[in-house]
Amino acid sequence: MRVREALTIHAAPDRVAALYRDYAGWPRVFPATIRGVRLLGAQAGETRVEVDHRTEGRVLNVIRQQTPTIITLEESKPRYDATFVNRFDPSPEGTRYTVDAVIRFRMPYALLAPFLHHMVSRRIHRFVLEPVRAAAEASVSGTTI
């Protein structure tokens, strides 16, 4: 399954990308889904972290910075493997944040994949895009989340 979701953030692209890249801050940025993050290792442009998800438990994430404003995240969960390409592009309002997701469901969930596109799209918007926007715009305005 392929999903693309995007929104505009009123903050500079480098600032929003830095916020996303700061995996240690993910529990603060994504409090609805992440309890904690632990660095497992970093080498050759790749950072491996163990993310303690509220519902899924501990999950391996691999972060790769492709460019200063393109960050790839690979994640393996019991129901799926996914690759998320996060793009932080300049826009007149600040940043156009786009997530391109490729999700490979495991059986038996793979049988339901044709019916899950809308749900996955909503979840990316609610649990990824919106929290990053809230955190980035709060840091620009000087408030904390």
Cα–Cα separations (whole angstroms), residue 96 to 11, 13, 112: 10, 8, 31
Q: What pLDDT score does 143 carry?
A: 57
Query: Tens of pLDDT along 2-44?
Result: 999 999 999 999 999 999 999 999 999 999 999 999 999 999 8
Query: Could you tell me the pTM of the whole model?
Result: 0.91
Long-range contacts for 48-53 (Cβ within 8 Å, ≥24 apart)?
49/23, 51/23, 51/26, 51/75, 53/77
For domain 2-33+69-141, is the CATH number 3.40.430.10?
no
* CB-based contacts of 59, cutoff 8 Å, min separation 6: 50, 51, 53, 75, 76, 77
Stretches where the chain sits below pLDDT 70 are: 140-145
